[in-house]
Chain A
């Protein structure tokens, strides 16, 4: 299979909407059509050739692949609703990275903007740097956030991380901002560093794992004293495989608090640190 390599010529003046630039969509195009593929730049359409120098590389696997090189902080919706293939970003990405994706793999070597992985339903989104607010959350106005797949952030995350998340695995190796896991419907969120204010606010179900920090939770969270070692071993094994601050999770037993009793109250915060 061919890997399409797009190297940024210069930072665009306005934001670029990359929603149509998925590996599967580009794989169907020949080199000329690829160069003439248009994207929105502000309120005008420009071609990929205007923005990128284009190269094609042979790959051994059968998956459509796209490599983006450069600082793409102004490029939004990379991997939007992606259904297959792989996107490698050698640099940073803009907002909505991997939003609505259902399958495939996206790896971002730098930072991502806001709404990374929002409403993603499957696949894997790995961000080596930091990500902005509302990662794995909802699009404005939607009821459900991330609903499947895995989002791994090696750096820090902004506010409202996993807001209304419903399913899947969300791991942040660094710190997370205010209202982490707010209104969490279900799924698993693990944080390696510290948290901002109001963690797990309005959490209904799901699990928030704090690997190395203890936070002050609202009075609507209560400690439970029962033996939950079985499910912890299963969960810890999965998260510990990601290394870093989670590496030794399997050997520890966290303190468990359940809440938010102001709502459904079947969520849990597992404080290992």
Chain B
């Protein structure tokens, strides 16, 4: 299947169930909200070693936040609700509580609640104050610029992690251009994040390694340096750079919508922009229950 000359592989991306929550960080202005959000979502590229995958989902204007200040929506994903709770507490405690003028709120309406400010309140050393407004409980913790306001809990929902696209290009510059265009398009899709740096990962991995201690290792089938020496290489000689975009979303449909947006952005640039093929990573369909078939997505209208 060719779209504007770009080949769409007859394959699928395989994704997994995860647990997710959305947090809304507000601050005196967007700059400080962003400082907190960037810090909180740092070192959150992959659950393999970070504990969670997190990213900034969207900017929010004052009319879209609970306290009428500018803010950012952040999505966090983990392999279990327990791990997610641990990551939320650590990251909010170290990155949002510490950031001047910030407040943090739950961004989902329904789900299994985990602690947000419920334990962080003890930082107040007895001076913390609870305030219930409607059905929502907030904690007010005295800090040096006033008070840190945080919602007591945040709902956790079932989510989908590990949707992906592989962009097979003629050179690094073409691969970077295509990946940036795809990520830019996917950032307009709600309920998803691309957790890697700039939304893009160059060290795509396969399960396992020749070294027993490692759970994952380089995806040799897509390494251009190994295309002539690995029997199972998926690359043709004209492909000299591959970049991957990993997508986590709140639902299967959200991940599909983001993948469609990415595929469309790359194919819209045409084969002249340097991308020869679009592929995806999977494990033969045996590990993850969510399968995103590229040709179905590329042929669909969204």
Give A contacts to B, CB under 8 Å.
Answer: 167, 186-188, 205, 207, 226-231, 233-235, 237-238, 266, 268
Tell me which of B26, B133, B142 contacts A235 (CB under 8 A): B133
User: Inside 8 A of A234's CB, which chain B residues have their CB?
Assistant: 66-67, 131, 133, 138, 149
* A230 near B149: Cβ-Cβ < 8 Å: yes
* B134 near A231: Cβ-Cβ < 8 Å: no
Main secondary structure of the interface of A (DSSP, over half): mixed
Q: State the CA gap A10–B146 with chains docked (Å).
A: 60
User: Inside 8 A of A238's CB, which chain B residues have their CB?
Assistant: 133-134
* B140 near A233: Cβ-Cβ < 8 Å: no
Tell me which of B66, B69, B130, B147 contacts A226 (CB under 8 A): B147
Q: State the CA gap A237–B133 with chains docked (Å).
A: 10
Q: State the CA gap A121–B44 with chains docked (Å).
A: 43
Q: State the CA gap A229–B62 with chains docked (Å).
A: 14
B148 nearest CB neighbor, chain A only = A230
Q: State the CA gap A34–B103 with chains docked (Å).
A: 54
User: Inside 8 A of A266's CB, which chain B residues have their CB?
Assistant: 127, 129
Tell me which of B26, B69, B127, B138 contacts A231 (CB under 8 A): B138
Main secondary structure of the interface of B (DSSP, over half): strand
Q: Convert B100-117 into 0s and 1s, putting 1 for each residue whose CB lies closer than 8 angstroms to a CB of A.
A: 000100000000000000
Tell me which of B26, B133, B134, B147 contacts A228 (CB under 8 A): B147
B63 in contact (CB, < 8 A): no
B300 in contact (CB, < 8 A): no
B66 nearest CB neighbor, chain A only = A234
User: Inside 8 A of B130's CB, which chain A residues have their CB?
Assistant: 186, 205
Q: State the CA gap A238–B68 with chains docked (Å).
A: 13
User: Inside 8 A of B147's CB, which chain A residues have their CB?
Assistant: 226-228, 230-231
What would be 25 A-B contacts, judged by CB atoms less than 8 Å apart?
A167-B132, A188-B133, A205-B129, A205-B130, A207-B131, A226-B142, A227-B145, A228-B140, A228-B146, A228-B147, A229-B67, A230-B26, A230-B67, A230-B69, A230-B103, A230-B147, A231-B131, A231-B147, A233-B67, A233-B68, A234-B66, A234-B67, A234-B133, A235-B131, A266-B129
* B146 near A227: Cβ-Cβ < 8 Å: yes
